[in-house]
Structure 1
Amino acid sequence: MPSARDLVYGELRRRLMAGAFLPGEKLREERIAKELDVSRTPVRQAIERLEADGLVKRDGRRGTVVLGWLDRDIDEAFALRLLLEPYAAGVAAQRATPAEIDELEAINRGMKAAAESDDADRVDRVQKLNNRFHHALLAAAQSARVRSLVESLLDLPIIIGSFYFYSHEDMLRSVEHHRDIIAALRAGDAAHAETAMRFHLSATHLLFRGQRKGKAPARG
């Protein structure tokens, strides 16, 4: 069963990513604790994790404030990924070794197992494995230049946590997208790899935008 800290962290992370708090807005522990019906301790612990994630920042005078991630920032990050990652996938289809493709498949199997589990940390595990998958694909492209351009986009705090929006079905759909990409790599089909990656990222962006539009919890 998830701890109170994990439940508070998951809820606050979803709200932050959905744009429920304005950039620069102060997170008030007492109000959050009352709203979520918990003590202030798990709220404080959750906020510490959010600070480590790069989503909030402690300000000595103001307390904890929300860092700014506007819709345009997210759209730009996905636009850049859509330009670069399909190309990386196409190059990987031409250069990846069998061992590198096997690693991608193993990561994706782990992601599926995590998504299907009832573990309290399953979302954390899924998002970490997803991040590993995309980094491993970049490595398989065997291009230091492409890798340096894309890695910073993969590790943006707002991008890493996208799985806090995902339903069980969304997670499994992402696994299937990865399978399509892996199949293209095994076939050495650069065009298919590019198309599969572009579809995967477009679907992710669409889901992200849907959660940011009109579905954020109201602030009172």
Structure 2
Amino acid sequence: MSSARDLVYAELRRRLMSGAFLPGERLREEHIAAELAVSRTPVRSAIERLIDDGLVSREERRGAVVLGWLDRDINEAFELRLLLEPYAARVAANRASEAQIEALAEINASMLRAVLSDDEDHVAQVQHYNNRFHHALLAAAQSARVRSLVDSLLDMPIIIGSFYFYSRDDMLSSVEQHKQIIAALRARDPDYAESAMRLHLTATHRLFRNQRSPAEKERSA
């Protein structure tokens, strides 16, 4: 049952992230179960997880309903991150302790192991370590103001689950980009750290934008 539940969850999350469902659209358990050739039980469990993730809500008369995330919402989040996180990386190059830099390397190594894993929940593991990496870098910048501004952007439901439509090569590229950021911190090179983070976020935003469905792009215009 766990396997079916995880597979259904991953597929529904991928569709939600790509904009395949309209905002306000009902998620009908029976239709999803028939389409994915599973019983309604794993579908129901997957939908509950999506509600916990903040991607779906449950309405009294309509049941599970998709929450709306338009491209302009996503673009704004990335634009703000592109303003703030490269600065955080720049500052971290001067302020991060050796222990904080090593912690970033350990998190990234765990992310790589998750990418290469055959575990059914490896995508969830990858997104977990990626989120930890970015939060740890903010901590390493030792700026309460920047951290308070960026924390909420990192934890946006539509952003935190982006790895559900990454290929393994995409995930490996993300790990490599993290390695460049770590190398810049170790070198205590602010310019290198800033440019490495900007490149990483630009690549992430481009990948995210390319995966959004044409229908969603039309609705956001």
TM range (shorter): over 0.9
Contact 1:2 1:120 (8 Å CA) reproduced:
no
Query: Aligned-pair distance for 1:37?
Result: 0.6
Deviations 1:152-200 (A, max 9, x none): 0000000000000111111110000000000000011111101000000
Q: Does 1:37 align with 2:37?
A: yes
Distance 2:109 2:205 in 1: 23
Q: Alpha-carbon deviation of 1:214? A: 3.6
* TM-score (norm: length of structure 2): 0.96
CA distance in 1, matches of 2:163, 2:25: 24
Alignment of 1:1-220 (within 5 A): 3-214=3-214
Say if 1:92 and 1:141, in contact at 8 Å, map to a contact too. Answer: yes
In structure 1, C-alpha distance between the alignment counterparts of 2:48 and 2:131, rounded to whole Å: 22
C-alpha displacement of 1:126 = 0.5
Letter in structure 2 aligned against 1:105: A
Distance apart, 1:2 and its partner CA: 6.8
- Alpha-carbon contact 1:18-1:215 (below 8 Å) kept: no
CA distance in 2, matches of 1:50, 1:134: 23
Q: What is the TM-score when the length of structure 1 is the normalising length?
A: 0.96
Note the alpha carbon deviations across 1:56-76, whole angstroms, 9 max, x for none: 000011111000100110011
RMSD: 1.3
What is the rounded CA distance, in whole Å, between the counterparts of 1:118 and 1:2 in structure 2? 15
Contact 2:19 2:215 (C-alpha < 8 Å) held by counterparts = no
Residues 5 and 45, structure 1, Cα contact 8 Å, conserved in 2: yes
Identical pairs, percent: 73
Q: Which structure 2 residue ranges, 5 or more long, are not aligned?
A: 217-221
Partner AA of 1:131 in structure 2 = N
CA distance in 2, matches of 1:215, 1:105: 39
Q: Distance in 2 between matches of 1:100 and 1:133?
A: 11
Structure 1: runs of 5+ lacking an equivalent:
none
Question: What secondary structure does 1:206 align onto?
Answer: helix
After superposition, the Cα gap between the structure-2 partners of 1:199 and 1:215, relative to the gap in structure 1 and judged at 3 Å, is farther
Distance, in Å, in 1 between the alignment partners of 2:106 and 2:159 is 22
Instruction: Check 1:18–1:103 CA distance in 2 against 1; reply closer, same or farther (3 A cut).
Output: same
SS in 1 for 2:112: helix
1:105/1:179 contact within 8 Å kept: yes
Moved segments of 4+, more than 3 Å: 213-216
Query: In the aligned structure 1, how far is the partner of 2:4 from the partner of 2:29?
Result: 14
| Shift in Å, 1:213 | 3.6
The count of corresponding residues between Structure 1 and Structure 2 is 216
